Amino acid sequence: MEYEKRRDLILAGSGTAAGGRYNRVELSGSCKVAGDIECERLRVAGSATIDGRVKSAVLTVSGSSRFEGSLEAGELEVKGKAHIAEHATAKRLLISGLVHVGKQVSGEEIEVSGSLTVEENCAAETFKAKGSFRIGGLLNADLVDITLYHHSEAEEIGGEVIRVRRGKAFSFGRWLGAAYRHRLRAETIEGDEVMLEDTRAKMVRGNDVKIGPGCEIDRVEYNGSIEIDADAVVREHKKI
Amino acid sequence: MERELISKKELLERTGISYGQLYRWKRKKLIPEDWFIRKSTFTGQETFFPRERILERIHKILSMKDSHSLDELADQFSPNPAEIALSADEVLKRHIVSKTTLDYFYEQTGAMESFTFDKLLQVYVLEQILRTGAISLDEARIVLAALADHYDQLQGKSCELLFIRKFGLATCLFVTAPGEVYFEKDVKVAIRLPLARAIEELKEKINAT
């Protein structure tokens, strides 16, 4: 693709533009784009609504944005707010702001330090979260690495290595006791290596399972080793 | 639509694969989403798979994964047709269909120099259903026509071809997964052919040389 021949689209202030193929797209101010966009870089700094599909090598949102169609990016960085009505696909997805996805998310690397809500499944090679997330379906990644600073939940979590740790920072919650602790909630967690802290799950399956402090698990099935912390509740565990 | 199921636990035990592999293959679409069947059991939610198909698929992946990348495998297993055109000679040479089937196909459609994937699939399905011996040439024509008509709608879906008979009356239908069909007692199911599998076999044959 020859991006040199494409023109830039720069909207500042309030305006409306048609979709199309561009080189660089900058949307600041309050704007609306009607139609699909394909571009090399897209930056949303103000408040923008895009009524179509978006395909961009680099996409940055620092303002507030609404994408009515699906979104495909090489790198997607959201420091502000993004609402994506359809699927979101990105090689690298960095979220320090607030993201809501109406359907599925897939990528290679996902890092969440803000907040991510996905209505359906979320798949990646690595999923790292230090913020909060809510996933309506399956969270599927080779490596799931979660440090809990906020409440998080997923219907199911599956992968090779699943690590959930308690955030180290001082929090009033911990000081106030267990009831206020930030927790991860999931129906089922399955992985080859599962290490959990502060997790509430109905079923945990794995080869080597470590249930750390603050966990409450209904049933653990394992076929290698198991370790249960004194400060964890496991109602049932069984070697398969 | 599947008769026998296997639980995830048993699957991992029998094939020796790990959770990580299973989830990775699911993510890469080497195992179709609709093969993951959730059921409630006394220990809570469990996942089941169509037994025969998943075991076959896993063995195929295991035997090919060292020589092919996961993306290549995903292409091969995908129900989306490959972009390709073969000449009539190549169709015979790669043993996709027999000469008899090809001649019969020509009778229906007129002679063809090159075959695109949809035509290849039609003639391949024709070969498969004739080979079962369960239907006649005339009846096969019904299937061919139906397949040609609905090919576009069926693209990318995993579906099954059913050919049924009742009191000398014959017809065919396509059922997309996940879905089940139940028949009244006089209906005989003459042919039940999973198209996704036919597509996969066909791709294997196309890529064979």
Q: Are residues B136 and B38 in the same domain?
A: no
CA distance B168 to chain A (A): 47
Q: Are residues B95 and B113 in the same domain?
A: yes
Range of the domain at B14: 5-77
CA dihedral of A7, A10, A14, A17, whole degrees rounded to 10: 20
Residue owning tokens 């011996």: B133
Q: Are residues B46 and B101 in the same domain?
A: no
Say what the pTM is.
Answer: 0.75
CA distance A231 to chain B (A): 24
CA distance A112 to chain B (A): 20
Q: Are residues B25 and B67 in the same domain?
A: yes
Look at residues A113, A202, A99 and name the one whose alpha carbon lies nearest to residue A156: A202
> Which residues of chain A make contact with B24, given a CB cutoff of 8 A?
142, 160
CB contact under 8 A, A160 and B24: yes
What are the C-alpha distances in Å from A224 to residues A76, A199, A202, A238, B155?
A: 39, 21, 20, 11, 43
CB contact under 8 A, B20 and A202: no
Residue A130: partners with Cβ closer than 8 Å, 6 or more residues away: A112, A113, A147, A149, A167
Residue owning tokens 């997309």: B176
Q: What is the pLDDT of residue A46?
A: 85
What are the C-alpha distances in Å from B108 to residues A105, B112, B114, B199?
A: 46, 11, 16, 22
Nearest CA in chain A to B23: A159
CB contact under 8 A, B20 and A205: no
Compute the average pLDDT of residues B5-9: 90
β partners of residue A15? A31
> Where on the phi/psi map is residue A177: left (φ > 0), alpha (ψ -120 to 50), or beta?
left
Q: Are residues B195 and B118 in the same domain?
A: yes
Q: Does A140 touch chain B (CB under 8 A)?
A: yes
- The 10s digit of each residue's pLDDT in B71-112 is 888 877 776 666 677 788 888 888 888 888 888 888 887 877
Domain boundary among B45, B77, B109: B77
Q: Are residues B31 and B63 in the same domain?
A: yes
Residue A179: partners with Cβ closer than 8 Å, 6 or more residues away: none
Nearest CA in chain A to B13: A240
Q: What is the mean pLDDT of chain B?
A: 84
DSSP string, A122-157: EEEEEEEESSEEEEEEEEEEEEEEEEESS-EEEEEE
Look at residues B139, B144, B198 and name the one whose alpha carbon lies nearest to residue B165: B139
Q: Are residues B58 and B130 in the same domain?
A: no
B66-103 CB burial, b ≥16 within 10 A, e <16: eeeeeeebbebbbbebeeeebebeebeebebbeeebbe
Query: In whole angstroms, what is the distance from residue A49 CA to residue B32 CA?
Result: 34
The alpha carbon of residue B146 and the mean position of all alpha carbons in its chain are separated, in whole angstroms, by 16
Contact A32, A14 (CB under 8 A): no
Domain boundary among B52, B77, B102: B77
- Where would I find the H helices in chain B? 8-15, 19-27, 51-64, 70-77, 88-93, 99-109, 117-131, 137-154, 195-207
Q: Are residues B32 and B131 in the same domain?
A: no
> Which residues of chain A make contact with B9, given a CB cutoff of 8 A?
205, 221, 240
Write the residue in A106, A158, A187 that is nearest to B23 by C-beta: A158
Q: What is the pLDDT of residue A124?
A: 95
Look at residues B35, B30, B32 and name the one whose alpha carbon lies nearest to residue B49: B35
CA distance B53 to chain A (A): 22
Contact B161, B125 (CB under 8 A): yes
Per-residue pLDDT of chain A (240 residues; tens, 9 = 90+): 444 578 888 888 888 888 889 999 999 889 899 989 999 999 999 899 999 999 999 999 998 999 999 999 999 999 999 999 999 999 999 999 999 999 999 999 999 999 999 999 999 999 999 989 999 999 999 999 999 988 999 999 999 999 999 987 655 555 555 556 789 999 999 999 999 999 999 999 999 999 999 999 999 999 999 999 999 999 999 998
Q: Are residues B104 and B169 in the same domain?
A: yes
Domain boundary among B48, B77, B106: B77
A63 three-state secondary structure: coil
> Which residues of chain A make contact with B38, given a CB cutoff of 8 A?
none
The tokens describing B188, both together, are 């005989």
Q: Are residues B39 and B67 in the same domain?
A: yes
End-to-end C-alpha distance for chain A, whole angstroms: 54
As for how many domains chain B has, the answer is: 2
Name the residue ranges covered by the structural domains of chain A: 1-103, 124-240
- The 10s digit of each residue's pLDDT in B143-176 is 888 888 888 888 777 888 999 999 888 999 999 8
ipTM of the complex: 0.85
The tokens describing A187, both together, are 């129906």
Contact A157, A174 (CB under 8 A): no
